[in-house]
Structure formats: C-alpha cells, structure tokens
Structure 1
Amino acid sequence: MQQFTSDNFQLLCNELAEREPVFKVILQQHSYPPMWTRPASFATLIHIILEQQVSLASARAAFNKLKEKTGTITPAKLLLLSDEELKACYFSRQKTVYARHLAEAFISKKIQLNKLTASHDDHVRGVLKQVKGIGDWTADVYLLFALQRTDIFPIGDLAMVNALKEVKKLPVHTTKEDMLLLADAWRPYRSIAAMMLWHHYIKSRNIKF
C-alpha cells in the first residue's frame, strides 16, 4: 500500500499544489504542514477514540491521565481499571464502553494490528469497525496517522470539512457527497490534502496544541 514518508511528504505536497491552486496558497501562507504520525498501536486507537467529538486538548488530557495511571497503555492494563478509575481519567461512560470493547478485541485476537500493516485500506476499516465505537472517522484517522496511507479523506472530520469549505468558498450546506466528489481530483494523495487542510485550519485560527 502506498505510504507517505519523511522522504516523499513535501514532494507530495508540491504535487498537489501544482494540481490545485488552494493548496499552493496554503503552502505560500503557512509553509508545509507537519508530517503528523502516530505509532500503529492499541494506545493510538484509544487516543483516537478519546478524540471523538471533543477538542484535541481534552482528548490529550484524558490520554495523559490514563498513561499516568497505567504506565504503558495495554489492553490488559486497561481492563484492570474500574469504571470509576476510567472516569477519573476523564473517560465518559460511552468511551469507557468503547475502550473496553477495543481491549477485549485485542485480547481475543479479533484485532491483530501487525496483520493490518500491509492490508488494503478497506480491509483495515472492516476489521476496526467490528469494534463498538469505531466508525469511519476513527478508522480513517488510524489509516492516515498510524499507517501513513496516502489516499484517506476523513469526511467525518469537522475541522477538515470547515477548512475545505473555506478555501474552496463552498456554500455552508455543501453535502459530504459533493465534497468527496470534489476531492476525487486529489487522488491518490487525499491524505496529503487532508493534512494541508488541517494545517490551514490550525494556522488561520492560531490554535495551539
């Protein structure tokens, strides 16, 4: 599967900027985005679950609290924690359920991340989405940041969608289907497009994290 790496990341940004004027403007205004990546691990999936529908800062606070509590975040250590202990790590009731389901899927070997490293994007999505609480957005973020796949476009991500509407001057009520059609022109590098849109969103709002 095609991946972005530190060797090709800026080249892919340049290629997209040649194809799409809004990306050229983003590069001119904000330079290259950071090459955001995460380990392909259970802990990363927990972190992404924590990021669902909350700010990155809130999710990081919960993730760091869990790390303080467990040392290394593993399925077995997470399952040893009571609901009260997870609540003290800022887990909502719903995310406690999701985290336990994920840990159980690892322990039962329903999910074996090492077997997903070379799998097709759709297969990775299918395996991850067997777990309660993992939908398209969570699977897409894992594919993009942990597996560094080049052609992921997480249309469920509000910040990315808002950035896309801004830079392309789209009507507020533009549908996800229309945005996906628009992004088809950026295949097979839609992951790079997503990162450039996030970069624009963060820089234009002066967000610190």
Structure 2
Amino acid sequence: MIQQFNSTNFYSICDELAERDADLARIIKNHGYPPMWSRPNSFESLVHIILEQQVSLASALSALNKLRERIQEITPARVLLLTNEELKACYFSRQKTAYVRYLAEAILSGQIDLQKFETMPDDAIRAALVALKGIGNWTVDVYLMFVLQRADIFPVGDLAAVNAFKRLKGLAPATTREELVDIATLWQPYRTVATMLLWHYYLSAPKK
C-alpha cells in the first residue's frame, strides 16, 4: 500500500509524531507546524530538483527562472531545442545540462512516465530514476517527498536534514548515516513529515 500525506492529514501526522518524539514536539511548540512543501508532478519539478543538487536553493531557483524566461514553458521538447551555450546562459553547469538532456530524452522516448509513477511503489520509482545519469538517491528522495507526497522517506543524503537531526537530538557530529537511519525508524511510517519538521527546525532555530 502506498503511504501518502496531504493537506487533510498533514497536521494530524505532525501531532502523532510529536506524541511519539518529545524533540519533534519541541519544534512544533517553539516554531509552529512546518510548511507542507509540495510541487506538481512535472518535468519542470524534476529539472528544479536536479538544479538544487549541491547548490543553494536560491541559485537553483535563479537558473530555473532564467530557463522559464527563455522558453516560457519548461517541457522536454523545448529544453532539447536549446544549445549547450543557451543553457549555460541560464546558469546551467555542463554536468546539469547533460543531466537535464538525459531526463528530457527519457521522458520523450517513454522510458520515464511521470504519470505512471503516481501509482507505482517507491522502490520501483527509485529504480527507474537512478538508471538515468545524474539522478541519485537524494534527487529521488526529494521527488518522492515533494512531488508524490510519499509519507515514509528519510533523505539521509540531505545535509540540512542530517545536521538538524544531530543538533535536535544532541548527537555527536561523527554519528554515521546508518545510525541516523536506525534512529529515524521511530518515525515510521511518517519519516517524510518528520523530515519536514527537521527542515523547519533548521530554517527557524538560530545556529549555536
């Protein structure tokens, strides 16, 4: 069964997590509920996530907006009409230009069907996407969380979530990914919403 969250159950899931974990309860008490971050299931959303790999959210958005300004609607066919120089002018690195082209070609050829993903299990979606050059587990995690609103994803490759987790729980900086994944089992089957609480904490709480 596919576990999802939506605007009708998001706050009740936050409350359930707060009952189970006093640290998450403290986030809600001090900073309120997190935003329910979401994006449409589109090529543009995946391009946006690729642009966010290893750069600031602001610079990724700047590149996305520059691309939209140039081609109006961000579709696979329109992106493939652009030259590498034109994409460079939209602040795309050489690598990300290649990654977005691979994705556009995969969608146009039917190798990737975003609409079909809506009824597929998480593992099958992950297998289909990581087969594409330039798409790794972090990109898939964000797609599953923000776009398909799958409820039980913990993005262990996300630095902001990991740093917030360690700070919130008073964990040693050397705590391994495996240890974090193990602790996060407490939040199943709602690890996505727990992660949104961590991001909310990361963005709201002053760094000491």
Q: Is the structural similarity TM-score above 0.5?
A: yes
Q: 5 Å matches for 1:177-188?
A: 177-188=178-189
Alignment RMSD: 0.9
Listed one character per residue, the Cα deviations across residues 5-63 of structure 1 (whole Å, up to 9, x for unaligned) are 11000000000000001100000010000100000111000000000000000000000
Distance 1:65 1:153 in 2: 31
Corresponding residue for residue 169 of structure 1: 170
Corresponding residue for residue 40 of structure 1: 41
Distance 1:25 1:82 in 2: 50
TM-score by length of 1: 0.97
User: What amino acid is aligned across from residue 40 of structure 1 in structure 2?
Assistant: N
Distance 1:113 1:159 in 2: 27
Unaligned 5+ segments in structure 1 are: none
Listed one character per residue, the Cα deviations across residues 64-116 of structure 1 (whole Å, up to 9, x for unaligned) are 00111111100000000010110010000010010100001011110001111
Distance 1:129 1:73 in 2: 22
TM-score by length of 2: 0.98
When structure 1 is superposed on structure 2, of 138-147 and 196-205 the one drifting more is 196-205
Corresponding residue for residue 101 of structure 2: 100
Corresponding residue for residue 14 of structure 1: 15
Deviation at 1:130, TM superposition (A): 1.3
Deviation at 1:3, TM superposition (A): 1.0
User: What amino acid is aligned across from residue 19 of structure 1 in structure 2?
Assistant: R
Find out whether 1:30 has 2:31 as its counterpart: yes
Listed one character per residue, the Cα deviations across residues 136-164 of structure 1 (whole Å, up to 9, x for unaligned) are 00001000000000001111000000000
For 2:70, what is the secondary structure of its paired residue? helix
Distance 2:79 2:132 in 1: 16
Corresponding residue for residue 192 of structure 1: 193
Distance 1:131 1:77 in 2: 20
Aligned residues: 206
